[in-house]
Amino acid sequence: MFDRTDPSLRPDLPTSRAPRTAAVKTPPEAARSGLDGGEHGAKQLDAVVAAFHARPLKDQYRVLMLDGVVLARRTGAGAIRRPVLFALGLRHDGKKEIIDFRLAQSESAAEWERFLGDLIRRGLVGDGLEMIGVDGGAGLLAALPTAYPDVPVQRCWAHKIRNVLGKVRAHDRPAVKADLHAIMNASTLPRARSAARRFADRWAAHYPPAVACLRDDLDELLTCWRYKSLIQRKAVRTTNAIERRFREVRRRTRPMGVFSDRTSMDRILFAVFNHENQNQGVSTPLALTQTF
């Protein structure tokens, strides 16, 4: 476990000669072209990917969104499914930036602490963060008090609605979903809490686990009401922005079925995510440690 208070985690500005940089413009097809370009092309791409994972980070985000998404890759004994830990930043100019991702063994607290600790060491200390959006995974929730202890948490409404509806009989789901949307779309925080009370009064006798599922995380579902604008709340109340980016990964890799190995997964994820950053106008020149 890393120590969040360790001064060494707050990066100093470099005093030595700046490393060589290159503007990396990598379309999603670049991962395949790097692999098809022989050993030299693959090494070039691997150096770019390594530079992305090691680049210094600016503490410039008002909201940090975190999630783990499971993908499949081949092994000698067949395909295995492993999570990709993912960090997306909402900047003050409204743009969304893919900050980093990590191929992990699990979504345990230890894996999340390593990932978040690396972001902190590289500069994302979170001094300007207004909230952190999460899906509700136990490992991530356990790691956040160590990594970003003073930042409010916003639980994902999309995940919560799916979890609540999973505890309800099919014929009642439309009505339950409408009542949940009445909470989520309330114009003010007091009205949201009133809608939550009406939800509990209506459904507690029929579906106690569903009501408890909402009640237990209600405060963190309502964090986004610190923003008065519905447009601002919509931007932070779910982690759908992360899921959309992984839908693009799956679309572009569908002919492959599963990733061939860990290295190819890292290359292709970088290629897709860097392309997304370029589309947002937030791609950063990378410091390369190898001479091409």
Categorize the per-residue pLDDT at 267 as very low, low, confident or very high, splitting at 50, 70 and 90: confident
A 10 A CB-CB count for 31 gives: 25
Tokens of 209: 């686990």
Given a cut of 60, is residue 150 above it in pLDDT? yes
Q: Which residues contact 226 (CB under 8 A, 6 or more apart)?
A: 130, 131, 152
- Chain-centre distance for alpha carbon 93: 19
Task: List the single range of 95-104, 150-159, 168-177, 282-291 with lowest mean pLDDT.
Answer: 282-291
Percent of the chain whose predicted confidence (pLDDT) is above 70: 78
Query: Other CB atoms closer than 10 Å to residue 183's CB: what's the count?
Result: 23
Give how far Cα 190 sits from Cα of 87, 186, 199, 215, 229, Å. 31, 9, 14, 15, 15
Reported as a pLDDT band with limits 50, 70 and 90, residue 18 is very low
- Residue 21's nearest CA partner among 49, 60, 48 is 48
Task: Band the pLDDT of 268: cuts 50, 70, 90.
Answer: confident
Q: Which residue has the higher pLDDT, 174 or 264?
A: 174
Confidence of residue 283 (pLDDT cuts 50, 70, 90): confident
With a cut of 90, say whether residue 139 has pLDDT above it: yes
Q: How confident is the model at residue 167 (pLDDT cuts 50, 70, 90)?
A: very high
Provide the pLDDT for residue 191: 98
pTM summary value: 0.82
Q: How far is C-alpha 203 from the chain's CA centre?
A: 32
Distance CA(273)–CA(182), nearest Å, equals: 34
Q: Please say if the pLDDT value at position 19 is more than 80.
A: no
Pure H helices in the chain:
30-36, 38-54, 109-121, 138-147, 157-165, 173-184, 189-203, 208-216, 218-221, 230-236, 240-253, 262-280
Average pLDDT, the chain: 84
28-57: average pLDDT: 71
Confidence at residue 112, expressed as pLDDT on a 0 to 100 scale: 97
CB 43 within 8 A of CB 289: no
Task: Name the residue among 171, 175, 181, 179 with its Cα closest to residue 238.
Answer: 181
Pick the closest to residue 224 from 189, 190, 200 (CA basis). 189
CA 102 – CA 116 distance, rounded (Å): 10
Q: What is the pLDDT of residues 191-248, one digit of tens each?
A: 999 999 999 999 999 999 999 999 999 999 999 999 999 999 999 999 999 988 888 8
Q: How confident is the model at residue 256 (pLDDT cuts 50, 70, 90)?
A: low
